[in-house]
Structure 1
Amino acid sequence: MPVNSLENKMLGVKREPLKLHFLLVTVTLLAGCAGGSGLPVITPSEALLSPGQALKFRARGAKGHRVWFVNGMLEGSPATGTITNHGLFTAPSAVNPASLDAPVQVSVVVNGAPSRPVPVSLFLPDKITPGTISSTANPLVASYTIAAPEGASVQVEFGPDTNYGRTTWSQPAPDAGGAVTLLVAGIRSSSIYHMRAVVQLEDGTQALDADHVFTTGAVPANRLPTITVNQVAGPAAPSGIELLSLVYPGTGNQLTAVATDLSGNVIWYYDLEPGEWPFPIKLLPNGHMLLVATDNGTGMSEVREIDLAGTVINRISPNEVNSALTSIGASVQEGNFHHDVLQLPNGHVILLGQYTKPFNLPGLAPGTPIIGDALVDWDPKQRLPVWTWSSFDHIDITHAPFGYPDWTHANAIVYSPDDGNLILSMRNQNWIVKIGYRDGAGDGSILWRLGPGGDFTLPSGEAPIEWNYGQHYPTLLGPNTAGIFPLMFFDNGNNRLVDANNTICGSPTAISCYSSVSIMELNEYTKTAQVLSEDKLYSTCCGDTLVLPNGDMEFDVAFDQQTPGISYIQEVTQEQTPQLLWQMNIAGQVAYRGLRIPSLYPGVQW
């Protein structure tokens, strides 16, 4: 039966008369009645069904108990279509285009007598074609392409067998339909994986591509980080993956920008040039990665945006930024980018760079270059700076807890969505500061300084030992619309003052230095701070901390003095006495950051 003639007789289904792939569904009614003669009349006599569409079959003239089957199976199955004992047939909701030519036979038994068959065609638009898989420059990433119609979206299921288990995110088809390509990442080296595209049609039904087999490439064992994991039995296994920014590789050209599963297996990496470190690397909302690539030998750096295969989508160099700053008459310049980079909700990028100026300061040679920090709001589309900030304009040059020339040493930038301002961690100032950015309309004024000698006060008896010293990675844990909010950070504790006499920790008469994973509640109006929780250890450098969706805390201890040469990342409960649930040890490299993320795809939880 021609498809168009079937389409013209569809029951209330209006579809454009395209050339279609179709599956012929032969409906055979076995009907009769005791003592009767002739065959019952079946309605409808022909029909065209899309995936998931339902159609009621009737058998006029046939009386008695009816039992319906699909492919000989009572009431059918989701794979072939189902039918009720009242004759309501529902086509499969997910269809493999490669199987559209295979007939499905629907039958009914009424007192054991047969009747004539009724054909039904199951169709998909011809813009869906079987997918193809190819390798990429990254041996742990596959490229999966499938054609899909307008209004459809595609995601890929993948795993070690046909149960799959993981998915990519979903991406839309082009406006007029056409090829959709997804990079499939999150797979181990030298392994066999099964992959299958799922095409979600505009009407809510699905089409399943055939299963494909992909073998990942090899990664030399001497390039893999040395990672071990200790999983402590708990109420539930942790979920997600770890995104690691590793620096100071111990031997050879070890990988430095990697993602691992929670057993410590590398499932993705970006291969930087020998000697380059990710300082750090982050997952963006568009599925790309953003990193500061820093050359350990030369100190040169650039900001790169890459896709999961490692293709560079965008790069920003200090030379380009400084040329643009000069062209607009800006007073600041960016030295090497370092320690962090931040993408804003509008797509702009906040660049953090060293900024050096000469000063005449007591105890230093005249004109000694002092290293501060500059922030630049960079529009990557226009390739222009739209806002700048300099530590020299807003911080007292004589405030130098760590001395000179490395005066400020900023290491993290946070965007505050409730007021459009920026929060900057300045390690060598022992301060976390809030900067009046106001989404590019602010004058850069320091709104507050958190830390010893800053603008906040602690409850009586807690200062100065409970302040933050040499801190890293502040994180907002809640909205600050009311000016009262919790702020979490890794307090490294370098040069911690332990009493009112400004005694420094670690000195002969003082307590030992320690680090802490701290949560402080800040009141921006009364300028008071209160320590809500802390977990004490000691790491002189680096580190991060965050609260996981299940309420546990995770933190990265990069330089534990008791375990030299090993960085470790822990997941612990938030209790008065925290319980260790999971720990990753990294030997021979320093984990500048190690962060739990849901998956390599925004909005997808593994």
Structure 2
Amino acid sequence: MWLGSSVRDRKPHCPGSSVPRSPRRHSARLWVEALEDRSLLSGTVALAPSDDSPLIGESVTWTATAVDVGVNPVYQFSAAPHGGTFHVVRDFSPSNRFAWTPMQEGAYDIRVNVKDGYQASETASAVVTDEVASRVTGSQAVVTPTANPLVALYSVPPSSARSVFVQFAVASDDPAWRNTDTRAVVPGKSSNIFIAGMLPNTTYEMRHVFSDDTGSVPLSFTTGSIPANLTIPAFTVQQPPGPESDPNQDMIFHQLIQGNPQAPSLVATDLSGLVTWYYDLSQSGFTLAKVGQSLVPGGTLLLNGVDRYTPIPTAPNVLREIDLAGNPVRETNLAAVNAQLAALGFEPVHAFHHDVQRLADGTTVALAYPERTIDVNGTPTHYVGEMVLVLDTNFQVKWAWDAFDHLDVHRGPVLGEVTQPGSPEPTGVVPLLPAVDWLHVNAVSLSPTDGNLILSVRHQDWVIKIDYENGAGDGHVIWRLGAGSDFTVNSADPNPWFSHQHNAHYIDDHTLILFDNGNTRQASDPAANSRGQVWTLDETTMTATLVLNADLGDYSFRLGSAQRLSNRNYSFMSGSQGDVPPPRQFGQTIEVLPDGTPSYVLKVASPEYRSYRVRTLYEGTDDALAGAPRKVESVVINDGSAQRSMVNRITVTFDGAAVLDPGAIELRRQDGTPIHFLLDVSVVGGRTAAVLSFAGPEFVGNSLADGNYTLTVRADRVHDRWGRELDGDGNGSAGGDRLVRVSRLFGDSDGDGDVDAEDRERFRSAFRTSACEPSYLWYFDFDGDGDVDGQDNGQFNRRFRRS
């Protein structure tokens, strides 16, 4: 059914009401709520979907038709829960079509804004409300294949729990579960999560776990084959993991140098080199995917791509976030960004490149190339510069930094790099060539102690810190690290400084890691190898101490990455070895011990920009240490007071974030009878807390009955993010249950195990009081009816002088 109305006539969605919805495709409903808004721009805009009855996880292509809105219309698409706040899903672009994949049932408002060119301010718009149906029809979960044969959609039924995650494992008698990230449960609605990181042609078990300790029996799903038309380079183990290799991060997220619709550039493998995930570009609208990708915690990825609107065929003009099935989540493009930069007084940029990262506050930082003509000793000279862009959650420019305003153009590239016309270098996408490849920044990251930004400036042989201050900074250069920089080096190595480095970033408050390609050393010593380096920085004394300087046994003239692993080992990607041209080049992921000794090597038959060791595709990439296995930090009865007259709550707190499988906590009477309780699991201040409470006819006053109990926290059902079992017995090693004795005796107000005269005096002070009075003591209210009365007195007297 189609209904037309104006924007100003649209009625809000009232709380408590709902748009009719159904899991049956033929009965889902869609209607147009606004066709135009003539108050801003003359002309009309219509918006229509490819499917007017979509299910969760199905891609819907929205097509806008604009009449009389100008000769160069551009289209911006946004989405919102019906009546809610719109979020941009694709910024202004010449394309009047956008693919949107809803991930929860309900009514959604889809809006398109149209204007005549990027610089225009007046827009016309249309809003359509679309009803999305759930895949869940009852109380059972549903697993659905996706277009990617290694990815499944898991749909969790509605629940009153706070949150949910999904576990998956190769089917076996003893599954080795891996977990997705934890998602908040929307009351009354299903939760839907893409499951990724699975081997081809393999049967998996999947189950969901709610924060209240309820969940599901495992469901089976068998993955398919990787399509024969896709070319993925061979991965070969050259040195298998040794006894001291990191056992926790047993998957590798690979970023190959370039991808196209027949050759994925984003691939995940296990440590044996078997593919467990890939990004298929064939339906993406991209002709190329270039370097500059990252995993985002929560199961999405950020990447740079090239579509048909790029001004130069190889210039990445799209910045996109995708889910693990490859569906766009949000995106922007060069032209939209340049319109915003112009409004802020900045020059345009010509391509995204090398790096894009999600910052802790939800903003996104990306790199882009401007170009400027510089007077060098009286000669006009084209320079490729650097722009750092920080985008808000709608991918709108929030902060920008132009290197031309902050760095000395007269300090040219250390090795004199100039990009020539037709060059395959990333800087070959600027319009005026030849051009001095001045900086060639290849990494941007956050400084953890001050919220400033760290840039790896390859062609200056420097790492620099710029004043960002979480968006409040003025961009001035705070310091430079490297040869001829602001730091004094502390090292016995005769040639300690890095050159033409990659992936410099902090791994803790004062320690920096990077891949030292070593181009400048190679220029004077052809036998020089690339190195993996770790530096400790003292920003007070401006001293840089070289902690690790691992000779990797090879030379990679470009590409590379660096990572600290969970067990204090390190992993480096030496990404471009062998002979030029690229068909004979290869990359290596090299794990080294803290002393630099190699302990694992995986070769890929292709140049590779970066590789990162991970456990799952849901945690992003980081340098976190696993440390000791999780322990139970505390078990608190009630509010921690001594009384055991009532026991209505038990809180188990772990010493960090922990994953609780179903049945992780047991409570039994002294005779072994299990007690059925309610459980609520949450994370507060980085620590997981599990709260047991008691409700139902068997619990008078919502308290345990009198008696002795044993609380067991099962080590085999509590894990950290690395999959290691709980150190329940506190001996420093994974394994061993935590046992806690719990007792309850009504009237025992001091927890000494009896009801004596002291307890009687306290009871008398609370007798005949109610919950609104200061002298009311809730733990003497046996039946929980809000007062301490004669019935409570009778229960107390029955237990007086008992222990």
Same fold (TM over 0.5): yes
Map of 1:253-332 to 2, 5 A cutoff?
A: 253-272=262-281, 276-293=288-305, 297-328=313-344, 330-332=345-347
1:232 is displaced (CA, Å) by 4.0
Aligned-pair CA distance for 1:209: 3.2
Q: Tell me, yes or no, if structure 1 residue 334 matches structure 2 residue 349.
A: yes
- 8 Å Cα contact 2:352/2:368 also seen in 1: yes
Rounded to whole Å, the distance in 2 between the matches of 1:170 and 1:528 is 39
Instruction: Give the aligned partner of residue 569 of structure 1.
Output: 589
Q: Tell me the distance in 1 between the aligned counterparts of 2:230 and 2:221.
A: 27
Cα 1:315–1:248, aligned 2, differ >3 Å: closer, same or farther? closer
> 2: CA distance between counterparts of 1:337 and 1:170?
29
Alpha-carbon distance between aligned partners in 2 of 1:539 and 1:506, rounded to the nearest angstrom:
13
Whole-Å separation in 1 of the counterparts to 2:141 and 2:449: 44
SS in 2 for 1:212: strand
Q: Distance in 2 between matches of 1:213 and 1:561?
A: 41
TM-score normalised by L of structure 1: 0.70
In structure 1, what is the equivalent of residue 473 of structure 2?
Answer: 442
**Map of 2:566 onto structure 1:** 549
How far did 1:233 drift? 3.5
Cα distance per residue 1:137-172 (max 9 Å; x no partner): 212101111313122543333333244323332544
CA distance in 2, matches of 1:324, 1:159: 46
SS at match of 2:376: coil
CA drift of 1:176 comes to: 2.1
Query: Is 2:565 the partner of 1:534?
Result: no
Question: Secondary structure at 1:129's aligned position in 2?
Answer: coil
SS of the residue 1:186 aligns to: coil
Q: CA deviation at 1:459?
A: 4.2
Letter paired with 2:326: G
Shift of 1:591: 0.9
- Give 1:375's match in structure 2, choosing from 372, 376, 388: 388
Corresponding residue pairs, total:
454
**Deviation sequence 1:547-568 (CA, Å, 0-9, x none):** 1011111111112358962211
Q: For each residue in 1:225-282, what CA deviation from the matched residue of structure 2 results, as whole angstroms up to 9, or x when unmatched?
A: 2111231442466332100110157x99322101111111111111235752341321
Query: What's the counterpart of residue 603 of structure 2?
Result: 585
Contact 1:153 1:170 in 2 (8 A): no
- The question of whether the paired residues in 2 share the 8 Å contact of 1:294 and 1:338 is answered with no
The answer to whether the 8 Å contact 2:246/2:567 transfers is: no
Q: Answer yes or no: is 1:164 the counterpart of 2:181.
A: no
| 1:458 counterpart SS class | strand
**Shift in CA distance, 388/152, structure 1 to aligned 2, threshold 3 Å:** closer
Q: Using a 3 Å threshold, how does the CA distance of structure 1 residues 171 and 548 change in structure 2: closer, same or farther? A: closer
Q: Deviations over 1:338-364 (max 9, x none)?
A: 0001211111111210110011214x8
- CA distance in 2 between partners of 1:231 and 1:170 (Å): 29
* SS of corresponding position for 2:576: coil
Q: Percent sequence identity over matched residues?
A: 30
- Rounded to whole Å, the distance in 2 between the matches of 1:493 and 1:246 is 21
* Pairwise CA distance, 1:448: 0.5
Distance 2:186 2:577 in 1: 53
**1:183 maps onto 2:194 in alignment:** yes
Q: State the partner residue of 1:514.
A: 529
Structure 2, gaps ≥5 residues long:
1-135, 419-435, 620-719, 724-803
Contact 1:599 1:605 in 2 (8 A): no
Please tell me whether the aligned partners of residues 127 and 178 of structure 1 are also in contact (alpha carbons under 8 angstroms): no
Partner of 2:504: 474
CA contact (8 A) 1:449 1:456 kept: yes
Task: Describe the shift of the 1:194–1:560 C-alpha distance in structure 2 as closer, same or farther (beyond 3 A).
Answer: closer
- Name the structure 2 match of 1:53: none
The aligned residue for residue 216 of structure 2 is: 208
Distance across 1 between alignment mates of 2:243 and 2:287 = 40
**1:148 aligned counterpart, secondary structure:** coil
Q: Is the 8 A contact 1:247 1:592 kept in 2?
A: yes
* One-letter amino acid of the counterpart of residue 488, structure 2: T
Alignment of 1:85-100 (within 5 A): none
1:526 Cα offset (Å): 1.9
1:109-138 CA-partner distances (Å, limit 9, x unpaired): xxxxxxxxxxxxxxxxx9971122211121
Whole-Å separation in 2 of the counterparts to 1:280 and 1:317 = 14
Is contact 2:261-2:280 (8 Å) kept? no
Indicate if the aligned counterparts of 1:134 and 1:143 stay in contact, CA closer than 8 A: yes
CA 1:525–1:506 in structure 2 vs 1: closer, same or farther (change >3 Å)? same
Does the C-alpha gap of structure 1 residues 558 and 347 become closer, same or farther in structure 2, counting only changes over 3 Å?
same
SS of alignment partner, residue 423 of structure 1 = strand
User: Does the Cα contact within 8 Å between 2:304 and 2:316 map onto a contact in 1?
Assistant: no
Q: Which amino acid aligns with 1:476?
A: Y
Tell me if structure 2 keeps the 8 A contact 1:243–1:259. yes
Give the TM-score of the pair, scaled to structure 2.
0.53
Note closer, same or farther for the CA distance 1:459–1:210 as it changes in structure 2 (3 Å cut).
Answer: closer
Equivalent residue number for residue 156 of structure 2 = 146
Following the alignment from structure 1 to structure 2, what is the Cα–Cα distance between the partners of residues 340 and 567?
19
SS at match of 1:130: coil
The 5 Å alignment of 1:489-528 reads 489-496=514-521, 505-507=522-524, 510=525, 512-528=527-543
Change (3 A) 1:355 1:157: same
Residues 454 and 505, structure 2, Cα contact 8 Å, conserved in 1 = no
- Cα offset for 1:434? 0.3
| Contact 1:223/1:252 (<8 A) preserved | no
CA contact (8 A) 1:521 1:530 kept: yes
Letter of the structure 2 residue corresponding to residue 594 of structure 1: S
Q: 1:247–1:256: 8 Å Cα contact kept in structure 2? A: yes
The amino acid of 1:302's aligned partner reads V
Change (3 A) 1:192 1:513: closer
Aligned position for 1:486: 511
Letter in 1 for 2:508: G
Aligned CA RMSD, in angstroms, stands at 2.7
The offset of 1:460, in angstroms, is: 8.2
2:579 paired with 1:600: no
Query: For the structure 1 residues 506 and 418, does the alpha-carbon distance in structure 2 shift closer, same or farther, using more than 3 Å as the test?
Result: closer
The offset of 1:420, in angstroms, is 0.8
Check whether the contact 2:575–2:608 (CA below 8 A) recurs between aligned residues: yes
Contact preservation (8 Å) 1:150, 1:173: no
Tell me the amino acid that sits aligned with residue 390 of structure 1: D
- C-alpha contact (below 8 Å) 1:141/1:216 kept by paired residues: no
Report deviation, 1:580: 2.4
The aligned amino acid for 2:465 is K
Partner of 1:430: 461
Relative distance call for 1:486 and 1:154 in structure 2 (3 A) is: closer
Distance 1:390 1:420 in 2: 18
Code of the residue aligned with 1:601 in structure 2: it is Y
3-state SS in 1 of match to 2:520: coil
Report the structure, 1 or 2, having the larger strand content: 1
Counterpart code for 1:527: M
| Distance change in 2, residues 1:460/1:376 (3 Å) | closer
Quick check: 1:472–1:543 contact (8 Å CA) kept in 2?
yes
1:179 to 1:491, Cα distance in 2 relative to 1, 3 A:
same
1:434–1:448 CA contact under 8 A, matched in 2? yes
C-alpha separation in 1, matches of 2:324 and 2:152: 10
